[in-house]
A and B are shown apart, each in its own frame.
Chain A
């Protein structure tokens, strides 16, 4: 394996993506959808600001922050259906099948290079294209909020940068998944349909199965009437029950890729609300702003899973491509 050749293939792939009409059309769609959500969030931002300035003493949360607006990107990309992250699937679903369909893979592999360089380069090129698309979306959002004269501070920029990285990780995971499906399918069309269905399994099905399993494992909630408990015992049991339940549910969130992303992104865009809900720390308006690294420390498990998913998928795609019979 030679890094130079990987870089070369990655660059060529990146160029192919950027100049294809499909990428441009999907990028345009992505920009439109996130743009609509961002405008909605800007409205919410100004409302929150007004509410804060009218009643500073009673506001539950502090001043709205610039990164709250970036929540619009999250709603656009990982909204309620599989179609939000379609740009990642569309980049990857025919990377291998198309080369096989047109017969160009033989010509490609007759050039002096190894197979692993091809698959690594393809993955690299696709991820570069995703970085390009995500950066475009973030720059657009930043531009919009600057037009509305909302200027993010330095620490807010840190949060936005972290959100940028996490978004790229999430979309790369889906992209690599569709590359994996592409190495298994015969035609591009089927590869696309299978990618969509696999994404549906990874998001919706795992989430609902997990929830169902949590309910099945936990059994009924402790109740005062049923067991004739003392009231103190009851509170103790109920607290233990809800604590255990929360742990199990968070396990489900780890595994389901879109819930995972939404969780991390939600924490990054609205850190106060996240801290308020997840930990025992009561929010009080005088406490200092949450720190980025403190927050990332709390979220490390989720971020780890966001990295693990693409790694596993890429491993499978890699092995499959290396052993592929190309006669």
Chain B
């Protein structure tokens, strides 16, 4: 592999992307959607400040601008915008060349196959970075228009969210790239992408959790047998119930890792909503009867959050690497007669 040739191909791919009408349209829609979500998020933020002032439960810390980002990441992650953009950039990279018969022409040039696929990936990732950057600048512009100026710390955290969002879109992009290598036509590539996405996002997390609980743990412990009210029995029941719930949530966490959407949400939500994160961590029963608990708690630092979520972050990086690895191997061995 020669770095010079890789750079040339990425450059060409990138210029292909940004001069296409598709890119412009995606850019426009991204900015529009994120701008609207930002305006909506600012509303949410103002409400939260109001509630904090009135001493509402559920807001331990003074809400920061990042709260507005919870709406934005919802739009990108759960709403499906990020996945759609990643797929739109990647789904016809290789299958389009196959359909247009230009793949043979390219490979008759003095270059290796791995340079081609790496160059395509790099070009696509740079365009995705451009799109997300434009989107986040729109968000900042909306903030400034409404009159909210983030501090340096908040800027840093916004940068982290941007990075995570980019990584999320890259996962979808490399999934689309993989299926475009696997499929013969672009429509076929779309169908493969969708089926994989669907299975990973919805079916495994939803059905897997239920099935796993049923098979591994059996039915929930019932309290009928312990109805006589002896203290020891009640304690025993409570401890079995607690253990059961712990195991159940472990199973759900495990199957949730298959869904890049859930992982994305899981990583960003402690950054955007620290109060909720802390309350979940110190368990609600402990918290609610004694409001003074909240006095001693400090706002979680970024490193604390990253340390807590390291497994999710590894999984988050693993998916795009896995998809790209499959795409790479398949493309290297593809039969192109």
Contacts and interface: CB of A to CB of B under 8 A. Distances in A.
B33 A201 contact: yes
- Of A36, A40, A90, A189, most buried by chain B (CB within 10 Å of CB) is A189
Interface stretch (A76-84, A113-121, A170-178, A297-305): A76-84
* Chain A contact residues, majority secondary structure: helix
Contacts of A22: 191
B79 A200 contact: yes
A140 to B, nearest CB: 15
B75 A204 contact: yes
A81 B79 contact: yes
Contacts of A205: 32-33, 36
Contact of A33 (B78, B195, B203): B203
Nearest to A83: B80
A212 interface: yes
Given A82-B79, A193-B88, A205-B32, A36 B210 contact: yes
Interface in B188-234: 189-191, 194-195, 197-199, 201-203, 206-207, 210
A37 B209 CA distance: 12
- Of A200, A205, A215, most buried by chain B (CB within 10 Å of CB) is A205
A177 B202 CA distance: 24
A189 B95 CA distance: 11
Interface stretch (B37-45, B62-70, B325-333): B37-45
B84 interface: yes
Contact of A197 (B26, B91, B198, B199): B26
Contacts, number: 103
A86 B202 CA distance: 13
Contacts of A104: none
B149 interface: no
A269 to B, nearest CB: 19
Contacts of B202: 33, 83
A205 B36 CA distance: 7
B195 A194 contact: no
A32 B203 contact: yes
Contacts of B186: 187-189
Contact of A208 (B29, B40, B207): B40
Contact of A86 (B81, B88, B194): B194
A276 interface: no
21 contacts: A25-B191, A29-B195, A32-B203, A33-B198, A39-B210, A40-B210, A80-B79, A81-B78, A81-B80, A83-B202, A86-B194, A192-B190, A196-B84, A200-B80, A201-B32, A204-B37, A204-B75, A204-B79, A211-B40, A212-B40, A212-B43
Interface of B: 22, 25-26, 29, 32-33, 36-37, 39-40, 43, 71, 75, 78-81, 83-84, 87-88, 91-92, 96, 186-187, 189-191, 194-195, 197-199, 201-203, 206-207, 210, 261
